[in-house]
């Protein structure tokens, strides 16, 4: 069973679940989807990786779940600081540490490993390898207008998901099918987020971290069809990484299939465990 742990980053108290697989085993910190909490997607992968002999730490980033910090606000630099502190906690168990990121966490995993050499392997699953350069390509004025609008309403909130095409940070039926139903139920998840969070998303350069991973091994697992985290950005992240790397395409029909649906979760967990044991 996971052990509840707390640790701090920049004076903010963070809450997590640590499952120790043994002192001789490698360890990973997990980081998950936008607005997600530790009882949702990262819990699915933490359980499977722990069963495959890997110590896991799933935690709530600042502002979400049971952790402290400004509520419902995506803080890009803060999240990277959270991950550095999480690595420090795992370092008490082993120096064989990796990072596994799912959805938006895939981008943060990439950035974390690029700036923290203690992370010795990276796995991105259905990852969001955001790139302002690519987001703005073809319509620079539209991109600038969008981020200006998010600044203008920075402290206001909107729903994270909404039914029937309603306004939401994660628009459309697919995010609602996970977060808005029993499928993604978690006591500490809140259906709200700041407009400033959207500014953080649109200006986060995760893809740019790939070329500076050095010789850190990278595994990318991605669905061939994904309307929310572009497969072409997953391909670009793989291509731009300079160290040992692998890219596994799964025949998933939706982005959220890699959150909790079989056989995709088991396929992703098997690939991640093999890769992590190989490189850690």
CA distance 90 to 16: 12
The pTM of the full predicted model, rounded to 2 decimals, is: 0.97
CA distance 2 to 47: 9
Sign of the Cα torsion 143, 148, 149, 153 reads positive
CA distance 210 to 86: 21
- What is the model's pLDDT at position 22? 83
- What is the model's pLDDT at position 265? 98
- What is the model's pLDDT at position 75? 97
Which residue is associated with the tokens 């990278």?
A: 218
Q: Bin 29: left if φ > 0, else alpha if -120 < ψ < 50, else beta.
A: beta
Segment 27-40 shows an average pLDDT of 98
* Backbone dihedral angles phi then psi of residue 105, each to the nearest 5 degrees: -60, -25
CA distance 222 to 271: 11
Q: SS3 letters for 201-243?
A: HHHCCCHHHHHHCCCCCEEEEEECCCCCCCHHHHHHHHHHCCC
pLDDT, tens digit (0-9, with 9 covering 90-100), for 209-220: 999 999 999 999
- Predicted confidence band at 23 (pLDDT cuts at 50, 70, 90)? confident
pLDDT, tens digit (0-9, with 9 covering 90-100), for 105-158: 999 999 999 999 999 999 999 999 999 999 999 999 999 999 999 999 999 999
pLDDT, tens digit (0-9, with 9 covering 90-100), for 177-197: 999 999 999 999 999 999 999
């Amino acid at each position: 069973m996971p052990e509840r742990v707390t640790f701090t980053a920049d004076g903010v108290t963070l809450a997590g679940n640590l499952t120790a697989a043994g002192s001789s085993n490698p360890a990973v910190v997990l980081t998950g989807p936008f607005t997600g909490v530790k009882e949702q997607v990262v819990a699915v992968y933490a359980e499977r990786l722990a069963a495959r002999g890997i110590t896991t730490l799933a935690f709530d980033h600042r502002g979400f779940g049971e952790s402290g910090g400004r509520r419902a606000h995506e803080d890009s630099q803060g999240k990277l600081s959270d991950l550095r502190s999480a690595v420090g906690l795992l370092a008490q168990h082993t120096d064989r540490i990796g990072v596994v990121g799912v959805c938006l966490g895939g981008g943060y995993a990439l950035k974390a490993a690029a700036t923290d050499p203690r992370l010795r392997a990276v796995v991105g699953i259905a990852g969001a390898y955001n790139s302002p350069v690519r987001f703005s390509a073809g319509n620079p004025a539209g991109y600038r207008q969008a981020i200006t609008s998010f600044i203008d309403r920075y402290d206001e909130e909107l729903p994270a998901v909404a039914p029937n095409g309603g306004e939401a940070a994660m628009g459309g039926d697919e995010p609602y099918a996970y977060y808005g139903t029993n499928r993604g139920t978690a006591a500490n998840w809140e259906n709200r987020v700041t407009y400033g969070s959207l500014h953080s998303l649109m200006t986060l350069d995760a893809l740019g971290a790939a070329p500076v991973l050095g010789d850190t091994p990278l595994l990318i697992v991605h669905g061939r069809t994904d309307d929310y985290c572009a497969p072409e950005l997953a391909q670009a992240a793989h291509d731009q990484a300079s160290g040992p790397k692998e890219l596994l395409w799964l025949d998933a029909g939706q982005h959220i299939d890699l959150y909790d649906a079989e056989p995709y979760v088991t396929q992703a967990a098997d690939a991640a465990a093999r890769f992590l044991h190989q490189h850690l």
